[in-house]
Amino acid sequence: MRILLTGATGLIGRELGQRLAARGDTLVCLVRDVHAARRRLPFPADCHVWDHGREVPAAALAGVDAVVHLAGEPVADARWNAHKKALIRDSRVLGTRQLVRAVVLHGAGVKAFVHGSASGFHGERGDERLTAASTKGDGFLPDVVEAWEAELLPLRQRRPDVRVPIVRTGIVLAREGGALAEMLPLFRLSAAGRLGRGRQWMSWIHLDDITRLFLHALDAPATGVLEGVAPQPVTNREFTASLCRSLGVFENLAAPPLAVQTLFGERAAIVLGSTRLEPAATLASGFEFNFASLATALDDLLLPLRGGVCERRWAQWLPHPPQAVWPFFCDANNLEEITPPFLGFHVLGSSTPEIGAGTLIDYRIKLNGIPLNWQTRIDVWDPPRRFVDLQARGPYALWHHTHDFAPLGGGTTMRDTVRYRLPAGWLGTAAGGRLVASWVDRIFDFRARKIDERFGS
Is the confidence at residue 332, as pLDDT, over 70?
A: yes
Cα distance between residue 331 and residue 343, in whole Å: 19
Is the confidence at residue 407, as pLDDT, over 80?
A: yes
Average pLDDT over residues 111-128: 96
Average pLDDT over residues 395-420: 95
Q: How far is CA 264 from CA 77, 115, 272, in A?
A: 10, 28, 10
Average pLDDT over residues 285-290: 97
Average pLDDT over residues 335-361: 93
Is the confidence at residue 323, as pLDDT, over 90?
A: yes
Q: Kindly report, residue by residue over 175-201, the tens digit of the pLDDT.
A: 988 889 889 989 999 999 999 899 999
Whole-prediction pTM value?
A: 0.95
pLDDT on residue 121: 96
pLDDT on residue 457: 59
Is the confidence at residue 1, as pLDDT, over 90?
A: yes
Q: Which pLDDT band holds residue 156 (cuts at 50, 70, 90)? A: very high
Q: Which residue has the higher pLDDT, 130 or 430?
A: 130
